[in-house]
Amino acid sequence: MFDINALVRKNIRSLVPYSSARDEYKGGEAIFLDANENPFNAPLNRYPDPRQVTLKEKISAIKKVPPAGIFLGNGSDEAIDLLIRAFCEPGTDNIISIKPTYGMYRVCADINQVECREALLTQEFQLDIPALLNLADERSKLLFLCSPNNPTSNCLNREDLLLLMKSFPGLVILDEAYIDFSASDSLITQLQNFSNLVILQTFSKAWGMAGIRLGMAFASPEIITILNHIKYPYNVNILTQRTALEHLRDTTVKDSWIRMILEQREWLRTALMNFTFVRDILPSDANFLMVKFDHSGEVLAFLTARKIIVRDKSKVPLCEGCLRITIGSPEENKLLIGTLQEYSRQRSSVINKF
């Protein structure tokens, strides 16, 4: 059996969490004279529910995870930071991850003075299991994996992920921010089989709500309790909670957005492959494409000068010459292709002069 108490930091184990006014009274509507709030300007005058009970119940019905197994934070980045703070002793413990991948795992580790050890992906952008496990020692507390991975856009092999859940001695954190765009199923159903598994998801991508900053972590109630003990009391504001609840009432709009993005992903892939200066497009399980260009710096500068902003990943390991292009609206995607056609004409004109 996985013993979470043996993994958590000693001072966190003995921590007495802050108890807010809204934690202490759970009786519903009342005359609130306990939290030094302004009595005017309802409902914004009141502190939000620190446990986000109503929102978690709605998410629970959709994700099929008990509310006690759900943590909500200010983006997924809050959960990443809290996991490192809860389980890693600064200057002593380490986390394991891969490269290339989402940069916040290392940033949060650096902020918390925790070593981040990274194993390079294979040429097929899959996990090198021996390399990952060889990085781990008795001070390795967390393993961060992103699937579909950012920036490589592909899902990691499911059997490899399951193997790591069985063999890694600490927590396995699987970041599924882009899972809604993949044909592969979420591993959220594996929570009942692996008590060391944490799944991260977000409202920023498929739900189209990056602006409200709401991330989700799913794990055993024991892990979620630890995160709740060390989070700031009112980490998810009332406007964010209400906006999320409003959008969760009807998932058909979100589903239609996903279908359109997937259609546009294939349209954009086909259109990009017509350019001779496009060398390769990585298979994508996400809402973006990693495109390898001849003279990627030229292409980037040309697009930027015309206010079309893509992400330069050419200096990332295994991604030399690559630009990451988010799938936009049909109009935005057509404008991108039209601009690249202009670049192609200008480049051909220069070459023909010589």
Predicted local confidence at residue 353, as pLDDT: 63
Q: What pLDDT does residue 3 have?
A: 87
Those residues whose C-beta lies under 8 Å from the C-beta of residue 310, and which sit 6 or more positions away, are 300, 303, 323, 324, 325, 326
Return the CATH fold of 4-248.
Answer: Aspartate Aminotransferase; domain 2 (3.40.640)
Q: 């807010």: which residue's tokens? A: 20
- Kindly give, in sequence order, each residue whose CB lies less than 8 Å from that of residue 197, ignoring residues fewer than 6 positions away: 165, 171, 172, 174, 187, 190, 191, 219
Q: What is the pLDDT of residue 292?
A: 98
DSSP 142-195: EEEEESS-TTT-PPPPHHHHHHHHHH-SSEEEEE-TTGGG-SSPPGGGGGGT-T
pTM of the model: 0.95
What is the pairing mode between strands 288-293 and 322-326? antiparallel
At 22 the pLDDT is 84
CATH topology of domain 252-353: Aspartate Aminotransferase, domain 1 (3.90.1150)
C-alpha closest to that of 283 among 275, 294, 292, 295: 292
* 61 contacts 55 by C-beta, under 8 angstroms: no
Q: CB atoms < 10 A from the CB of 57, how many?
A: 13
Closest CA to 327 of 279, 270, 288: 288
- CB contact at 8 A, 174 and 197: yes
CA distance 236 to 18: 16
Residue 352 confidence (pLDDT): 64
What does the pLDDT look like over 62-89, one tens digit per residue? 999 999 999 999 999 999 999 999 999 9
How many CA within 13 A on the CB side of residue 137?
7
Residue 23 confidence (pLDDT): 85
Q: What pLDDT does 198 receive?
A: 98
Q: Would strands 94-99 and 288-293 be described as parallel, antiparallel, or unpaired?
A: unpaired
Write out the H or E segment, with its range, that includes residue 326.
strand 322-326
Give the number of other Cβ atoms within 10 Å of residue 199's Cβ: 23
pLDDT digits (tens, 9 = 90+) for 82-132: 999 999 999 999 999 999 999 999 999 999 999 999 999 999 999 999 999
From first to last of its 354 residues, the chain has per-residue pLDDT tens of 678 989 999 999 999 999 888 888 887 789 999 999 999 999 999 999 999 999 999 999 999 999 999 999 999 999 999 999 999 999 999 999 999 999 999 999 999 999 999 999 999 999 999 999 999 999 999 999 999 999 999 999 999 999 999 999 999 999 999 999 999 999 999 999 999 999 999 999 999 999 999 999 999 999 999 999 999 999 999 999 999 999 999 999 999 999 999 999 999 999 999 999 999 999 999 999 999 999 999 999 999 999 999 999 999 999 999 999 999 999 999 999 999 999 999 988 766 665
How many beta carbons lie within 10 A of that of residue 65, not counting itself?
Answer: 21
CB atoms within 10 A of CB 279: 13
Comparing CA positions, the residue from 327, 328, 296, 326 lying closest to residue 312 is: 296
pLDDT of residue 29: 85
Domain boundaries, the chain: 4-248, 252-353
β-partners of residue 199 are 174, 218
Beta strand 311-312 pairing with 322-326: antiparallel
In the chain, the N- to C-terminal Cα span, in Å, equals: 71
